[in-house]
């Protein structure tokens, strides 16, 4: 009997020790509270399975600190069927939107979307789920909800017609989402969620954004075309409507007998302050909107959204603020965003590895945050990356970049290389005094891709950015670009034996591409200011200047030709950068069919050469409108 008691006691001790070890694996609890594992939710849009496997391997370094979930809600290809005939800039936003109906469509929706499109999406999702399962990781699904549906769907089911969700200044065709307050819509969403979770039980988190880029909630204050929706549902508040949507997802999870955490992104969903409060107080169980003390949400992202279409930039000094506040054992939900450009770009594998490394370092070392320790950490990191010989040079380069981006965010925060340089095609269109003089052949390679509902406005107004007029403070871009160049010069000088010389070389090239696109933004903005000042002179056909000799000519003649020359030289600089390793550091469409307003074509190099030729062919156009100097 005594031996049996000793045996049972030993078993109890072993089990208790194992349980304690499991509870303690995520580190000491902050403030003496019970230790809870973190939940890492990685937002990636990688649709290449080999790259996905590599990303999974990188993210595995976070497993000692909690559960890792990686997004598998990524389309296998662009939804070409959603683009109206003749094109529509707004629909380009949404053509890569993941939403359950593009993977597991309800029988009502299935007839209205291409079956092969759905099949490929589902196959990719299930392959990713398998990879995660084999690596003891979970999955997440990021979507846009309620996402707009084809017009033919609402012809068949008019009672489900919800709000208009497109942007009138950015769309050439209307788009409607289903109304979530309609019972049939709720049933449809619950059914699709149930099928998705039964088929891919690895999905533990469903996160979505709304009221932007393809999705919308009826009668919301900040719908782009104004509050609208079916009159029969106007009695519900926005918080009630969001709750109805979340409850539909929860009902689907219940039918599949699965636990599902539902998140709506506060940062990227558009609601008024009153609506935000209403949403937060009406959240169903296991549903989240804002970060709270009981459900702390931490958002971490790289730099791709700031530098796209340039890829490969990472500044560990700037990233320090992103990981500040991470606490192992705290149960935080940590969203790690790696995607950009509406799922057209993902952080390079070099950068995603650095992001996971920095997060792991923060959780492992849990170093104090005082200024002295921070300086020591920066010095150690610089030595690890550049070696003792070049550590100071790297640290100065990183500090220069950090200050440069702070300057840019303060002085010209809205100037984006994507929304300006790419959507307006500054990167490859010719900068001219009179764009109307271009032939149809000359503008055929860039004009169709400019983000503008009016081809004439896209042609003539360089600073019409998504339907609004924008400007850049005089001298600001030149200041910013000079800082980026200075940092690039420092990176170039780092010793060849530096441990991370190869990556730092890539980062330098990425920054050179980024600086070139931003330089174009400054040039086109300055050029448009001159064109605005001389609008009357630039009307009508060319006309020769008066015969009165003027020493300096028209006041804007020389300034404009200086801008043209700088853009001509800038274009050649970009050509040289691309030829010398730059093609691996810029996002380009895989073929001509995939080129759109958010991604440049695969033949960008030839387009840049064409840009320079057209500019030189039209170099003398200015003399037909503004008087040249006479000496």
Give the distance, in angstroms, between the CA of residue 486 and the centroid of all CA atoms in the same chain: 27
- Of 287, 305, 282, 202, give the one whose Cα is nearest residue 249: 287
User: Would you place residue 356 in the very low, low, confident or very high pLDDT band (cuts 50, 70, 90)?
Assistant: very high
Parallel, antiparallel, or unpaired: how do β-strands 176-178 and 161-164 relate?
antiparallel
For residue 554, which of 566, 567, 568, 536 has the smallest C-alpha distance? 536
> What average pLDDT is seen over the chain?
93
pLDDT of 212 reads: 95
3-state secondary structure of 234: coil
- From residue 259, how far is each of 262, 280, 569 by CA, in Å? 10, 21, 58
Per-residue pLDDT of 572-582, as tens digits, reads: 999 999 999 99
Asked whether the predicted pLDDT for residue 295 surpasses 60, the reply is: yes
Asked if the model's pLDDT at residue 302 lies above 60, the reply is yes
User: Which of 167-171, 433-437, 537-541 has the lowest average pLDDT?
Assistant: 537-541
Strand ranges for 338-478 from DSSP E: 339-340, 345-346, 464-465, 468-469
* pLDDT tier for residue 3 given thresholds of 50, 70 and 90: very low
Report the range of poorest mean pLDDT among 93-102, 104-113, 621-630. Answer: 621-630
Tens-place pLDDT, residues 522-541: 999 999 999 999 999 999 88
pLDDT for the residue numbered 547: 74
Q: Parallel, antiparallel, or unpaired: how do β-strands 297-301 and 464-465 relate?
A: unpaired
| pLDDT confidence band for 31 (50 / 70 / 90) | low
pLDDT of residue 11: 41
- For residue 288, pLDDT over 70 is answered with yes
Contacts of 357 (CB under 8 A, 6+ apart): 61
pLDDT at 373: 79
DSSP of 160-204: GEEEE-S-TTT-SS--EEEPTTSHHHHHHHHHHHHHHHHH-TTEE
If pLDDT is split at 50, 70 and 90, which confidence band does 551 have? confident
User: Model pTM?
Assistant: 0.93
Q: How far does CA 28 lie from the centroid of its chain?
A: 35
Rounded CA gap, 533 and 433, in Å?
A: 12
pLDDT band at 370 (very low <50, low <70, confident <90, very high): low
Alpha carbons within 13 A on the beta-carbon side of 576: 8
Q: Nearest-CA neighbor of 404 among 495, 315, 300? A: 315
pLDDT for residue 1 is more than 80:
no
Find the distance separating the first CA and the last CA of the chain, reported in whole Å. Answer: 117
- Specify the higher pLDDT residue, 374 or 627: 627
Residue 180 has pLDDT above 80, yes or no: yes
User: Are 538 and 531 in contact, with CB atoms under 8 Å apart?
Assistant: yes
Per DSSP, helices labelled H in 1-114 are: 2-24, 49-59, 89-94
Structural contact between residues 44 and 346, judged by C-beta atoms closer than 8 angstroms: yes
Strands of the sheet containing 38-43, edge to edge, are 287-288, 261-264, 203-209, 138-144, 66-71, 38-43, 333-337, 297-301
Q: Are 396 and 386 in contact (CB under 8 A)?
A: no
Is residue 144 pLDDT above 70, yes or no?
yes
Backbone angles phi, psi at 600, to 5 degrees: -75, 160
The rounded distance, in Å, linking the Cα atoms of 489 and 474 is 25
Spatial distance between the Cα atoms of 455 and 441, rounded to a whole number of angstroms: 15
Which ranges in 494-556 belong to alpha helices (H)? 501-533
Tell me the per-residue pLDDT of 210-245, one tens digit each, with 9 for 90 and over.
999 999 999 999 999 999 999 999 999 999 999 999
Segments in 29-182 forming alpha helices (H): 49-59, 89-94, 115-134, 151-156
**pLDDT at 28 (0 to 100):** 56
Angle, helices 371-411 vs 476-493, to 10°: value is 140
Cβ–Cβ under 8 Å, residues 326 and 314: no
Q: What is the mean pLDDT of residues 236-258?
A: 98
Distance CA 143, CA 598 (A): 19
Residue 158: is its pLDDT beyond 60?
A: yes
Do 527 and 563 form a contact (C-beta atoms < 8 A)? Answer: yes
Q: What percent of the chain has pLDDT over 70?
A: 94
Say if residue 17's pLDDT is above 50.
no
**pLDDT tens string 457-473:** 999 999 999 999 999 99
% helix, strand, coil for the chain, step of 5: 50, 10, 40
The pLDDT confidence band at residue 4, using thresholds 50, 70 and 90, is: very low
Backbone angles phi, psi at 173, to 5 degrees: -155, 145
Measure the CA–CA gap between 297 and 299, rounded to whole angstroms. 7
Please list the alpha-helical segments (H only) found in 412-534.
Answer: 440-443, 455-460, 476-493, 501-533
């Amino acid at each position: 009997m005594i031996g049996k008691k000793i045996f049972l006691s030993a078993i109890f001790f072993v089990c208790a020790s194992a349980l304690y070890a499991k509870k303690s694996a995520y580190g000491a609890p902050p403030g003496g509270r019970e230790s809870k594992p973190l939940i890492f939710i990685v937002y990636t849009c990688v649709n290449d399975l080999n790259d996905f496997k590599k990303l999974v391997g990188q993210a595995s370094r976070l497993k000692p600190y909690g559960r890792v979930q990686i997004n598998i809600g990524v389309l296998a290809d662009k939804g070409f069927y959603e683009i109206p005939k003749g094109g529509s800039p707004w629909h380009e936003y949404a053509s890569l939107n993941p939403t359950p109906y593009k993977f597991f469509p309800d029988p009502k929706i299935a007839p209205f979307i291409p079956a092969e499109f759905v099949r490929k999406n589902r196959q990719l999702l299930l392959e990713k789920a398998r990879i995660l399962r084999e690596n003891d990781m979970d999955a997440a699904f990021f979507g846009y909800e309620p996402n707009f549906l084809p017009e033919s769907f609402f012809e068949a089911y008019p009672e489900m017609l919800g709000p208009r969700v497109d942007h009138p200044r950015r769309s050439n065709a209307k788009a409607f989402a289903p109304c979530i307050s309609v019972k049939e819509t709720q049933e449809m969403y619950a059914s699709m969620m149930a099928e998705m979770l039964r088929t891919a039980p690895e999905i533990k988190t469903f996160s979505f954004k709304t009221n932007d880029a393809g999705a919308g909630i009826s009668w919301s204050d900040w719908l782009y075309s104004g509050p609208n929706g079916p009159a029969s549902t106007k009695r519900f508040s926005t918080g009630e409507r969001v709750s109805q949507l979340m409850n539909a997802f929860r009902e689907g999870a219940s039918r599949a007998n699965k636990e599902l955490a539902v998140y709506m992104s506060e940062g990227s969903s558009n609601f008024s302050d009153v609506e935000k409060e209403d949403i937060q107080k009406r959240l169903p169980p296991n549903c989240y909107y804002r970060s709270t003390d009981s459900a702390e949400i931490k958002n971490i992202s790289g730099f791709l959204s700031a530098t796209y279409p340039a890829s490969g930039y990472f500044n560990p000094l700037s990233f320090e603020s992103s990981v500040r506040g991470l606490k192992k054992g705290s149960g935080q939900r940590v969203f790690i965003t790696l995607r950009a450009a509406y799922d057209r770009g993902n952080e390079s594998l070099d950068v995603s590895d650095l992001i996971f490394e920095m997060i792991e370092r923060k959780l492992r070392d849990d170093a104090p945050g005082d200024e002295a320790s921070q300086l020591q950490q920066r010095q150690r990191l610089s030595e690890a990356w550049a070696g003792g010989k070049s550590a100071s040079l790297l640290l100065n380069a990183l500090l220069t970049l950090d200050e440069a981006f702070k300057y840019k965010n303060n002085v010209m925060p809205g100037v984006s290389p994507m929304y300006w340089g790419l959507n307006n095609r500054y990167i490859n269109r010719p900068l001219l005094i009179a764009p109307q003089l271009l032939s149809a052949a000359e503008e055929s390679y860039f004009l169709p891709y400019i983000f503008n509902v009016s081809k004439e406005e896209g042609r003539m107004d360089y600073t019409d950015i998504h339907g609004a007029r924008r400007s850049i403070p005089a001298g600001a871009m030149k200041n910013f670009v000079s800082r980026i160049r200075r940092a690039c010069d420092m990176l170039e000088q780092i010793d060849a034996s530096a441990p991370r010389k190869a990556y730092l070389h890539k980062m330098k090239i990425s920054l050179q591409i980024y600086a070139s696109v931003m330089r174009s933004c400054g040039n086109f903005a300055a050029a448009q200011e001159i064109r605005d000042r001389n609008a009357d002179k630039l009307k009508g056909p060319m006309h020769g200047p008066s015969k009165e000799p003027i020493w300096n000519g028209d006041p804007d003649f020389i300034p404009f030709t200086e801008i043209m020359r700088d853009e001509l030289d800038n274009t050649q600089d970009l050509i040289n950068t691309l030829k010398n390793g730059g093609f691996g550091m810029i996002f380009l469409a895989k073929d001509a069919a995939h080129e759109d307003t958010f991604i440049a074509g695969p033949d960008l190099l030839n387009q840049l050469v064409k840009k320079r030729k057209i500019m030189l062919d039209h170099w003398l156009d200015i003399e037909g409108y503004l008087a040249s100097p006479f000496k």
